[in-house]
Chain A
Amino acid sequence: MQLKDKKKTRLAMAASSLLGATHSATLKAEEAGWNYDALMSGYAESDDRVNVVSFKMKGAKEDEDSSAVSFLIGIDAISGSSPTGAVGFAGLAKEPVGASFSKALAVDTLARSSGSAAPPPAPAPRPAPRPAAPAPRPATSSGGGSHPAPASNTPRPRPRPAPRPATSSLKSYPLYGNVEDSRYSGSVSWTTPVGRLTKLNYGLSGSAEEDYKDIGINSSISRDFNQKNTTLSAGINYAHDEIDGTIGNHAPLSSVFASNNEIGKQTKDVTDILLGVTQIFSKSVIGEFNYTLSSSSGYMNDPYKVVSIVNSKGQPVDHLYENRPDSRLSHALYGEYRIKTSRGVVKPSYRFFTNDWGITSHTFGLAYRRDLGKKSFIEPRLRFYTQTAADFYHTQLGSRGAAAPYASADYRLAGFDAVTIGLHLGGKTRKGNHWRAGVDYYTHRGKESDNQPPGQIRVNPDLQAITLRLDWSF
């Protein structure tokens, strides 16, 4: 009798599969209606840098005919400070920048009245700060002294190797202080089946924070082949962004001490294309492989990032707003497997990324979701990341002329390695709700090319961050 029942169930499953109902549809048909997923998280960086508290929620509804609708909303509360890229120098006075703005930069600068190699075009009158070190007349020609200036065709300054400065003076990092912002984001997506094997998807997305707005539209198509063992997909996404720094957007490579160099609100357009394959290899192995192309054009600068001009002793004499190219073309290849073992699921992944700014990166991921009994699991996670520096990444510049045409000291454009170690726990409640809780520890280490002259504070300091999350679906 029991055997007969089993046979019947199996037959019914086979029939429904043959009729084209996908597994998720089969499973969810019983509980038609909205399913929700909520994620609360906290992100904290070392040295009083950035802190983010986030709440995100997703709602999804799938009908029996496989048509679906979903939405996502999120709020991020951001606070803390972030390196500006300005060179800090032990013993130099901090000089305020943009005093007319409530949220001002403060940078270490040699007294500009006596020591500046290249005085800004129209400096605003300000009380001269007392120099902590005797102000030497810096060599204006490049190549002299222990700290050669990069010529425009030299990729990066190569100061002589120096020991990393002690981290005792953390507060003297040239940070952009008191960032406080809230980011609101949302998206909606619709999926419609076309015939038995094809699905069409349309979506809208947007986000807003005080200094950044984004609106996007996307569409994708996927089709099953090979008795639904292979799914091919293709998608396109277009986004338009508006950047309006809270300290203003400033003319690229103009001095932070100059006035009348504001350039107003700026925009950026991004087009992404995705091509993907999902392949079933066996009853217990499935893989996903994507290629994404991303093309951006417009204002790509970060309004809060600067590059310092230093004298032959490595002391900053001026700071210029960064300048990045106004276009970028990126390629990413991504692969991930899900392998069911007797005790859980292994999830290895790899991404190769490259763009025309000179950045190439490799990302290796590995997670093992191990079953703990029938209802819960433990998931150790590992991630290794390494990237090369952008062609125009300079920790500092030796003279103003060397800055042309592009320069940035943003730590995200530096060469660095990052490692994430995480441990997640999860399970299913009696009511059938899923939960996941986890902690992840992220470390970022700059590469040796960031060596700076003695006395300087690192432009690209190492970073540690911790993430806590709680995910609940109901």
Chain B
Amino acid sequence: MKKTILTGVMLVTFVLAGGCSAPVKPWERGTLARPEMQFGSEALNDAYDDHVYFSKEASSGGRGFGGGGCGCN
């Protein structure tokens, strides 16, 4: 719980200050190195989701390029 609150406070701080706290040192990145903490570690999955939404909705892009090549119905 404490951790969650701390995380929340840190996020708000970042958004407000537009900066970040002391840099995380390379040897402190054990958690960040886990695949589930890395953007793009499940690229195929993400690409599949994006393509489904791209063909059903009028919005695209954001996570990556807008994608394309589809006359989907």
**What is the bound-complex CA distance between A303 and B72, given in angstroms?**
11
Number of interface residues of B (CB under 8 A): 50
How many Å from the CB of B18 to the closest CB on chain A?
A: 11
A412 close to chain B: CB less than 8 A: yes
Assembly CA distance A283 to B34 (angstroms): 12
Over the window 1-33 of chain B, the binary record of Cβ atoms lying under 8 Å from chain A Cβ atoms (1 yes, 0 no) is 001100100110010000011011111111111
Knowing A78-B72, A345-B36 are in contact, say whether A43-B52 is a contact too (CB < 8 A).
yes
A contact patch SS: strand
Which of B21, B60, B73 has most A Cβ within 10 Å? B73
When the two chains form their complex, are residues B28 and A292 in contact, meaning their CB atoms are under 8 A apart?
A: no
Q: A413's contact among B28, B58, B64, B66, by CB below 8 Å, is which?
A: B58
Q: How far is it, in angstroms, between the C-alpha of A213 and the C-alpha of B70 when the chains are bound?
A: 8
Distance, CA A211 to CA B69, complexed state (A) = 10
Q: Is B59 touching A286 in the complex (CB atoms < 8 A)?
A: no
Contacts of B69 in A (CB 8 A): 185, 205-207, 212-214, 216, 239, 241
Instruction: Knowing A278-B39, A341-B3, A387-B59, say if A272 contacts B11 (CB, 8 Å).
Output: no
- Across-interface contacts of A72 in B (CB, < 8 A): 44, 47
CB of A243 within 8 Å of the partner chain: yes
Which residues on B sit within 8 Å (CB–CB) of A185? Answer: 69
Q: Enumerate chain A residues within 8 angstroms of B38, measured Cβ to Cβ.
A: 24, 338
Beyond A78-B72, A353-B59, A385-B57, whether A292 also contacts B65 by CB under 8 A is yes
What per-residue 1/0 map shows which CB atoms of B46-63 lie under 8 Å from chain A?
A: 011000110011111111
Chain A 378-400: CB-based contact to B (< 8 A → 1; otherwise 0): 00000001010010000000000
Please state if B68 and A239 are interface contacts (CB–CB under 8 Å).
yes
A412 touches B66 (CB 8 A): no
Please determine whether B11 and A332 come into contact, CB atoms closer than 8 angstroms: no
CB distance from B2 to the nearest CB of A (A): 10
* A418–B57 CB distance below 8 A: yes
A209 x B24 contact (CB < 8 A): no
A135 contacts partner chain B, Cβ-Cβ < 8 Å: no
In the assembled complex, which residues on chain B have CB atoms less than 8 Å from the CB atom of A332? 59-62, 66
Contact with B along A181-193 (1 / 0, CB 8 A): 1010100000000
Please provide the 8 A-B residue pairs with the shortest distance between their CB atoms, ordered closest to farther.
Answer: A214-B69, A17-B26, A334-B62, A82-B73, A207-B69, A212-B71, A23-B33, A292-B61
A-B contact pairs, 5 of them (CB 8 A): A214-B70, A227-B23, A290-B63, A304-B73, A444-B56
Q: 16 additional contacts, CB 8 Å, given A340-B31, A345-B37?
A: A10-B27, A17-B26, A39-B45, A39-B48, A56-B47, A58-B43, A78-B73, A176-B73, A207-B70, A229-B20, A237-B66, A281-B14, A341-B3, A361-B59, A363-B62, A442-B56
